[in-house]
Structure 1
Amino acid sequence: MSCVPPPAAPIPDAIIAIPVRNEEERIAACLQAIDAQVGLEPGRLGLILFLNNCTDRTQQIVAATVPTLSIPVRVLTESFAGAHAGWARRRAMDAAADWLGDTGGGGIILSTDADSRVPPQWVARNWAAIRAGADAVAGRVELDEAEAALLPPFLPARGRLEDRYDALITEAEARIDPDPHDPWPCHRTAIGATLAVTRAAYHTVGGMPEIPLGEDGAFIARLIEHGLRVRHATDVCVTISARLAGRAPGGVADTIRARCEEPDALCDARMESFVHAVRRYVWRRRFRQQHGSGRLARDDAWARRLGIGTAEAGRIAALPLGQAVAEAERASPRLAYRPIGPRQLPREIRIARTGVAMIRLSSALAKTLRRYKAALPERHIIDAERGRS
């Protein structure tokens, strides 16, 4: 009688990487949400937990919860006096990349936070965007409703105004300077609580930036500068904590607390006046066109208009498109961001609504004209045939 060995376990091709520090109150809910993913083949999802500098009961809760999960989990533990958010997220994502490398080198790395809860379709929706052609996916976030209800009433009200204005300027950007890989509807959130990237793209940009603050936004910017396709998917959304005491300096918790203490604090940098925003988007579109035709290197009139010197203009013109756009915006004093404050939001929203309506109309007319021109040869042939009959 021969013994047939059991079939080998499927190899994960999607690994979730989570940096964890003192999350005894939320880590169990985070892990349970990950274990509840649907729309995936069994065994194709893995999880990396990077426990760093934990001094509460997080490690014990993880040890008790991991055996109850249906997915393979690797737990790494480290204490480091110089720990910060970028370092911890990079360590977790590097470990995920290494695990995928053991399986042949493909697959995707996903990132979320230990105080977040992902929806059941989170991994499947990120995979869908990757399969549709994206190299990376940036999702949206929403505050936990129960925790948000405890915040001062003016803060959620301000958040709603910012969300409304952000959607308007994002639509204006997507219609004026469209990205075929990131079409409207889209958003512009870049947060470590919901990122996905192919292993190949992750290595192309040198991994997650190991910086103390803003590593997630810097990572997305680095992908775009390298010409990689980033999809800001509206159907990918994660619930995050609305707490005021966070684990990472400069994170969401610090932002919420700062706005509680200073209600008139400026909005995010990209929330400039609608007129300035539209000028930026029109400039980007022209810049891309001139870069593609080689005109940037032949004529530096664009640089003089932006206040960029001749030598710097030559260096920028020689860069790949994504890097050229980013470097031009950094170098030009006229393209510096001038964020607005919350008191300006209602007025800018009214202006933006009118402006976006006009942009939509212009886009519709342009699309109709393109269709008409494309159909002209066929109509001429039909008319000619009718004239001969």
Structure 2
Amino acid sequence: MTRTTKPADATPTAIIAIPVRNEVERIEACLQAIDAQVGLAPGSLGLVLFLNNCTDGTDALVARLAPALSIPVRVASEEFSGAHAGWARRKAMDLAAAWLGDAGNMGIILSTDADSRVPPNWVVRNRAAIEAGADAVAGRVELDAAEAALLPPSLPARGHLEDIYDALITEAEARIDPDPNDPWPCHRTAIGATLAVTRTAYRAVGGMPEIPLGEDGAFIARLIEHGLRVRHATDVCVTISARLTGRAPGGVADTIRSRCEEPDALCDARMEVFSRVVRRHLWRRRFRRLHGTGSLRRSLAWAQAIGIDPAEAGRIAALPLGQAIAEAERASPRLAYRPIGPRQLPGQIRLARVGIVGIRLAQRLAHRVRSVAGEAAAPGRPAADPRATRI
């Protein structure tokens, strides 16, 4: 069943899609934050609420709150015994895509959660990144301060170290193997609480993956594998709940609780020792260059170096770049992720800080060499060897 409040005179050009299950305590704050968006043309924003399996009165509360919002809202309800996070988010985003209809290629679907609070400029900043050329935008999140204060002190301390290390390895990646569509400063968070994607890109990859866990990360990975432009925007940040009992298995609440119960649980997969991070992204840079010149098919030395058999290497070499990188990393035993534990974080942070200084200096030197080469290539001067500018 779907119902619409305040039918819009025209189709909105941005639709926020929210899956909702048993959020009677938090849905009002979420809706108030959405209704407080600034810098938007009248009628340009809509909201989809997909209520599934609600048993705590959320549906009645939404029925009371939605008509009071200043934007049009479509509310859909469904009972399904096999419901999970990926299914619910896909349902909500599919409804948003359908509503956008003929709004054009720049129609935007935004995703957040019913227990999150978006800032007043959330839609504007996502739209700005898309208008600058992105097909999708992944934002950052921070825990609700009042709820986070109730967590064991060791958890925020660990989170602080992880944030520091994550920023360092992300900078290393962005400098070693830069993506012109996602330049530094950037991040690597992929969470359903703050996603934005053009309707065109959403349909191009078949929509949100309908999987029980990690649908948000899988969606971003799918976009990248298809060669679409994903911006990990540092100026887009949403406040999320720090509760220990969530509504979706495998979500943020489960992660927080498991780390309370197992303080030595491994970090996220991408948090490897710094030397391995550097090797991984040097490999990706080389792979990207080989793919761009067609050399992957002419020589399989690259595959032998990372332990991929010739038949599989031939298949990978024929794929588009994003898919080729992803498939090579899946197939190579030498590129399997080896995450570190929290006790290793301080030492790896120290190494990464030193390493980042070296990477920055190398880039500055390369920039100077390129400048000199450019001057030498001016009329009447011999051109410098371009290989000398590589770092």
Range class of TM-score, shorter chain: over 0.9
What secondary structure does 2:305 align onto? helix
Residues 1:191 and 2:191 are matched in the alignment:
yes
Tell me the distance in 1 between the aligned counterparts of 2:242 and 2:200.
34
Q: Could you tell me whether the CA contact under 8 Å between 2:264 and 2:341 is conserved in 1?
A: yes
Residue in 2 aligned with 1:180?
A: 180
Q: Deviations over 1:32-66 (max 9, x none)?
A: 00000011101100000000000001111111111
Tell me the distance in 2 between the aligned counterparts of 1:20 and 1:350.
42
Tell me the distance in 1 between the aligned counterparts of 2:37 and 2:380.
56
Residue in 1 aligned with 2:120?
A: 120
Residues 1:84 and 2:58 are matched in the alignment:
no
User: Quick one: percent identity of the two aligned structures?
Assistant: 78
Tell me the distance in 1 between the aligned counterparts of 2:105 and 2:74.
18
Residues 1:71 and 2:79 are matched in the alignment:
no
Tell me the distance in 2 between the aligned counterparts of 1:364 and 1:104.
42
Q: TM-score, normalised by structure 1?
A: 0.95
Q: For residue 353 of structure 1, what is the amino acid of its counterpart?
A: R
Residues 74-223 of structure 1 aligned to structure 2 (within 5 Å):
74-104=74-104, 106-223=106-223
TM-superposed CA distance for 1:367, in Å, is 1.4
Residue in 2 aligned with 1:242?
A: 242
Tell me the distance in 2 between the aligned counterparts of 1:368 and 1:90.
49
Q: Which runs of 5+ in 2 are unaligned?
A: 1-7, 382-391
Could you say what the CA RMSD is over the residues aligned between the two structures, in angstroms? 1.1
Tell me the distance in 1 between the aligned counterparts of 2:269 and 2:156.
19
What secondary structure does 1:49 align onto? strand
Residue in 1 aligned with 2:386?
A: none
What secondary structure does 2:235 align onto? strand
Q: Could you tell me whether the CA contact under 8 Å between 2:11 and 2:99 is conserved in 1?
A: no
Q: Deviations over 1:347-377 (max 9, x none)?
A: 0000000000100111111112212222223
TM-superposed CA distance for 1:379, in Å, is 7.3
Residues 1:39 and 2:27 are matched in the alignment:
no
Q: Give the length in aligned residue pairs.
A: 374
Tell me the distance in 2 between the aligned counterparts of 1:181 and 1:205.
18
Q: For residue 337 of structure 2, what is the amino acid of its counterpart?
A: Y
Q: Could you tell me whether the CA contact under 8 Å between 1:147 and 1:241 is conserved in 2?
A: yes
Residues 336-347 of structure 1 aligned to structure 2 (within 5 Å):
336-347=336-347
What secondary structure does 2:270 align onto? coil
Tell me the distance in 1 between the aligned counterparts of 2:297 and 2:328.
13
My pick for the range that moved more, 283-292 or 104-113, is 104-113
Tell me the distance in 2 between the aligned counterparts of 1:112 and 1:186.
20
Q: Which runs of 5+ in 1 are unaligned?
A: 1-7, 382-389
Q: Could you tell me whether the CA contact under 8 Å between 2:50 and 2:88 is conserved in 1?
A: yes
Q: TM-score, normalised by structure 2?
A: 0.94
Residues 53-72 of structure 1 aligned to structure 2 (within 5 Å):
53-72=53-72
Q: Could you tell me whether the CA contact under 8 Å between 1:100 and 1:106 is conserved in 2?
A: no
My pick for the range that moved more, 57-66 or 201-210, is 57-66
Tell me the distance in 1 between the aligned counterparts of 2:364 and 2:327.
32
Residue in 1 aligned with 2:229?
A: 229
TM-superposed CA distance for 1:380, in Å, is 4.5
Residues 1:11 and 2:19 are matched in the alignment:
no
**1:105 to 1:224, Cα distance in 2 relative to 1, 3 A:** closer
Tell me the distance in 1 between the aligned counterparts of 2:260 and 2:130.
38
Tell me the distance in 2 between the aligned counterparts of 1:128 and 1:104.
17
Q: Deviations over 1:112-140 (max 9, x none)?
A: 00000000000000000000000000000
- Runs of 4 or more above 6 Å deviation: none
Q: For residue 157 of structure 1, what is the amino acid of its counterpart?
A: A
My pick for the range that moved more, 284-293 or 56-65, is 56-65
Q: For residue 56 of structure 1, what is the amino acid of its counterpart?
A: D
TM-superposed CA distance for 1:106, in Å, is 4.4
Residue in 2 aligned with 1:369?
A: 369
Q: Could you tell me whether the CA contact under 8 Å between 2:105 and 2:198 is conserved in 1?
A: no
Residues 1:273 and 2:273 are matched in the alignment:
yes
